[in-house]
Chain A
Amino acid sequence: MSNLLLFPIIIPLIFATVLMIFPKNLKMQRWIAVIGAASTFVAGLFLLAKVQSDGVQAVTLGSWPAPFGISMVSDMLSVLLVLSSSLITLFVVVYSYSTIGIKREQSYYYPAVLFLMTGVNGAFTTGDIFNLFVFVEVLLMASYALIVHGGEKPQLRESIKYLLVNIISSALFVAAVAFLYSVTGTLNMADLAVKIPEIEATGILTVIAVMFLVVFGFKAAIFPLYFWLPGSYHAPPVPILALFGALLTKVGVYAIMRTYTLFFTMNIGFTHELLAIIAILTILAGCVGALAYFDVKKIIIYNIIIAVGVILFGVSQMNEAGIEGSIFYLIHDMLIKAALFFLVGIVAVLFGTTNLRKMGGLIKTYPVLGWSYLVAAFGLAGIPPLSGFPGKLLIVQGGFEGPQFWGSIVILATSLIVLLSVVRIFIYAFWGEPVETVPLKKSSYYQMFTPTVVLVAITVFFGVGAELFMPFISGAGEVLLNPSIYIDAVLKE
């Protein structure tokens, strides 16, 4: 069925619309939300099998010939991202049951989560640059609703800044699309990839490429544009934070990956070197923040910024190892960030605070929680059998093969800082003198802990079984490195 690639977008949209009808019925909200997320995940699995067997899937809406209609394209990279974002949304929905609070659940919380999922899956699947803008707005609109959901004072204060930054970056996105349209006369990504190499004035195209880097850099929180992220992400409750930390910045990273491998390849010497330098600065900026704070949420939030830098450094190298490494690391990072936010969320609930100095001795009362946190922390830092290792290894290898070998050295050195920053949480919260914890019902603890431990197990499996996933990763890398596969799939009819 050729419309299969639209299902991960349509299913959450329909479920979200249905959920709007009866906001007060808690049981129905929970069940329908989890069914919606699960069926999106299943649709993603079918799509993965289809793309694996038949190659890149493309459909042009309304059956108009390719550059004129809106193309939706599913190559291996976008399927993998759709699949992991659907999986994370599923876990976030289950984790929300006991953590988000009944009042929030009854005010359109689950519809907003599913609308966010629609926007994210659409942004990963679209093949049209203006349609990408629209899907980004869909997910941003849902994220505005979620970040202020509940209306506590810090949330109100931080969401003003979040909104303002995103309005500015959206206006810049429109301006960048306008420039690109006036130079090329098309908006379809595959058509752009055909037209841009034919244009001789590469100067203006380089300017537009840097404008797109600024636009997507705001979304992805790269070095000089990450200032909004730590404050904004600290405000909302943990399930929403996990959803944001795992998905939202990754849309920006994906958009940079797509544009910089598919069509902004006319002046690699300038644009990709700029990207590499910015990526390294992003890593360093994230490291400073990750070490500076004694707040569990802040530490993991700064680790988002570090991971964005690592992934973009891999992309900037434009060789097989670098690209494959960044795809692997991107998926690993989505999963592990969600898992870590879940874990520190439980820790914060148990102590009733996010301040590390007021914690201690949790390993005596909650040993399984402690050891799964340690596994997730080692996974984040990239200790060999776990999931952070293969991606980082390939990125470092790509850096040594490319011109920016010093970048690889920075990545290796900062891995130690990443490890230090997350192990510090382990040392302060789990070791030492036991501090009195907030009494918690066994059932609600298990409601939080079950999705968390399953997600940690998935990341372990993703690392240990890396051989199993490598064919998919290299399939995704192949399309990114040979844009002709993508172009042929879209423009063939």
Chain B
Amino acid sequence: MEIIMSVLIGLLFMAAVYLMLSKSLIRIIIGTGLLSHGAHLLLLTMGGLSGDAPPVVADGVSVADYADPLPQALILTAIVISFAVTSFFLVLAYRAYQELGTDNMDLLRGTEDHE
């Protein structure tokens, strides 16, 4: 199972890198979304995928059957953080499109008094 997940995560990272290297800003933001999905799945996989029972204390479940609760808490934290950053980034991209009139990263280079 871990092998399959690793391959999937690798594909997600690959797609993210491809999208982030493109010119259009919205494709870059989609790339960051895929990148954080990959990172979160990686966190889940690296915690180990053994254990079927959800990490809630219940009768008749031995310790070995529980899924590791720590990576789940870490993922939850990382999700809300990347959610906040992504929403900020989307608004920034919208504002930049309004002010600068382009979403092409090639046209966003340099400074006014470029030397």
Residues in chain A within 8 A of chain B (CB atoms) = 130, 133-134, 137, 140-141, 144, 148, 151, 153-154, 156-157, 159-161, 163-164, 167-168, 170-172, 174-175, 177-179, 181-182, 187, 231, 234, 293-295, 355
List residues of B (13-51) whose CB comes within 8 Å of A's CBs.
20, 25, 28, 32, 35-36, 38-40, 42-43, 45-48
Is there an interface contact between A160 and B25, defined as CB atoms closer than 8 Å? Answer: yes
Contact between chains at B81 and A137 (CB < 8 Å)? yes
Query: Are A174 and B111 touching (Cβ within 8 A)?
Result: no
Give the residues in chain A near B28, CB-CB below 8 Å. 164
Central interface residue in A140, A144, A156, A234, by most chain B CB within 10 Å: A156
User: Per a CB cutoff under 8 Å, which of A141, A153, A156, A231 touches B88?
Assistant: A141
- Give the size range of B's interface with the partner: 35 or more
Q: B25: which A residues are within 8 A, CB to CB?
A: 160
Select which of A160, A161, A174, A231 is within 8 A of B43 by beta carbon: A174
Does B106 have its Cβ within 8 Å of any Cβ on chain A?
no
Collect the chain B residues with CB atoms within 8 Å of residue A154's CB. Answer: 111-112
Verify A156–B32 contact, CB threshold 8 A. no
Verify if B8 is at the interface (C-beta below 8 Å from A): no
Contact across chains for B85 and A234 when beta carbons are under 8 A apart: no
The binding surface of chain A is classed by DSSP as helix
Residues of A within 8 A of B20 (CB): 164, 168
Which residues of A have CB within 8 Å of B89? 163-164, 167
**Per-residue contact bits, chain B 64-88, to A (CB 8 Å; 1 contact, 0 not):** 0000001100100110011011001
Given that A144-B88, A177-B43 are known contacts, is A171 also in contact with B38, CB under 8 Å in the complex?
yes
Are B85 and A163 within 8 A (Cβ)?
yes
Q: Are A178 and B111 in contact (CB under 8 A)?
A: no
In contact, A160 and B96 (Cβ under 8 angstroms): yes
Contact partner, A171, options B36, B70, B74, B99, Cβ 8 Å: B36
Can you report 25 A-B residue pairs in the complex whose CB atoms are below 8 A from each other?
A130-B74, A134-B81, A140-B85, A141-B84, A141-B88, A151-B95, A151-B99, A153-B100, A154-B112, A156-B99, A160-B25, A163-B88, A164-B32, A170-B85, A171-B35, A171-B36, A171-B39, A174-B42, A174-B78, A178-B46, A181-B71, A182-B46, A182-B48, A231-B111, A295-B115
The 10 closest A-B pairs by CB, nearest first: A182-B46, A178-B46, A174-B39, A178-B43, A156-B96, A171-B39, A171-B35, A178-B42, A167-B32, A137-B81
B92 sits at the interface (CB 8 A): yes
B53 within 8 A of A: no
Cβ distance B47 to chain A, nearest Cβ, rounded Å: 7
B74 CB to nearest A CB, Å: 6
